[in-house]
Chain A
């Protein structure tokens, strides 16, 4: 994967204010992107456990899908979410969360994306997302 892909990703992460609000980062290994969400107190939804807010996990999964699309589509525009289904598998603990997106199908107008998030072990995902996105054109 080229230098251009890394630049696309960095541009996406820097440009979107909400990505900075979440504190989300991402790393590229070839064409494989790993999104990283360091733990922070404002992300907590349940102080007793403590656990990440379900909305934060959903948002992180959605932003991971959008970031991956920005890498592969080579557009500086933000693609639009049509629908997402988020499955919660385990509590999101007070630690760093990782996510990877798989582009199942990228058509002319619409992309189908699956995302999985995990913490301690990739084989024990905490949540998954399936979604459709309307692709923006430059």
Chain B
């Protein structure tokens, strides 16, 4: 019996806005589906990583990707919601985001075992088919 999608949606909105780091970076909830989640972070002057180009910092994208992966894992919950902790995160940066561009990230938890979740994600500024970064991650599941 899978967790209700409405419950996942509520949890996703909660995760995107009330977690202190997510709120500080201005994350916005976009959508969730079974084992999938989408979040975005609007561009902001204090989040710039390179003052010469005004491109958003890689660290902000790292936080967004970690967060959206956690969301996808939660959205894959097969019974009751559980806690997650990042085990490892591998990020490839294809190219910098455009100057003054926000970033959107989508994650898919493609395998969930009793104790581990495996996730892929990607981030883009304008076009999902032209990503700025891709991710492969593993999470530990803490079942109450």
- Give residues in A with beta carbon < 8 Å to B: 15-18, 20-22, 41-48, 53-56, 58-60, 62-63, 77-78, 80-88, 91
Is B13 an interface position by the 8 A CB rule?
no
Ordered by A's residue number, 24 sampled pairs between the chains whose C-beta atoms are within 8 Å are A16-B57, A20-B46, A21-B47, A42-B23, A43-B21, A45-B19, A46-B19, A48-B83, A53-B19, A53-B21, A53-B22, A54-B86, A55-B59, A59-B57, A59-B59, A80-B93, A83-B91, A83-B92, A84-B91, A85-B88, A86-B62, A86-B86, A88-B85, A88-B87
A121 to B6, CA, bound (A): 43
Q: Are B96 and A80 in contact, CB atoms less than 8 angstroms apart?
A: yes
Size of the chain B interface, CB-CB below 8 angstroms: 36
Q: Are B62 and A85 in contact, CB atoms less than 8 angstroms apart?
A: no
Which single residue of chain B is at the shortest CB-CB distance from A16?
B49
Measured CB to CB, the closest approach of chain B to A15, in angstroms, equals: 5
Query: What residues on A are CB-neighbors of B65 within 8 Å?
Result: 55
Is B66 an interface position by the 8 A CB rule?
yes
A23 to B57, CA, bound (A): 14
Selected from B51, B70, B96, the residue in CB contact (under 8 A) with A17 is: B51
A55/B67 contact (C-beta < 8 A), A77-B52, A85-B88 known? yes
Tell me which residues from 10 to 59 in chain B have a Cβ below 8 Å from any Cβ of chain A.
Answer: 19-24, 45-52, 57-59
Measured CB to CB, the closest approach of chain B to A101, in angstroms, equals: 15
Query: What residues on B are CB-neighbors of A54 within 8 Å?
Result: 63, 66, 70, 85-86, 89
Q: Are A43 and B20 in contact, CB atoms less than 8 angstroms apart?
A: yes
Is B90 an interface position by the 8 A CB rule?
yes
A131 to B89, CA, bound (A): 12
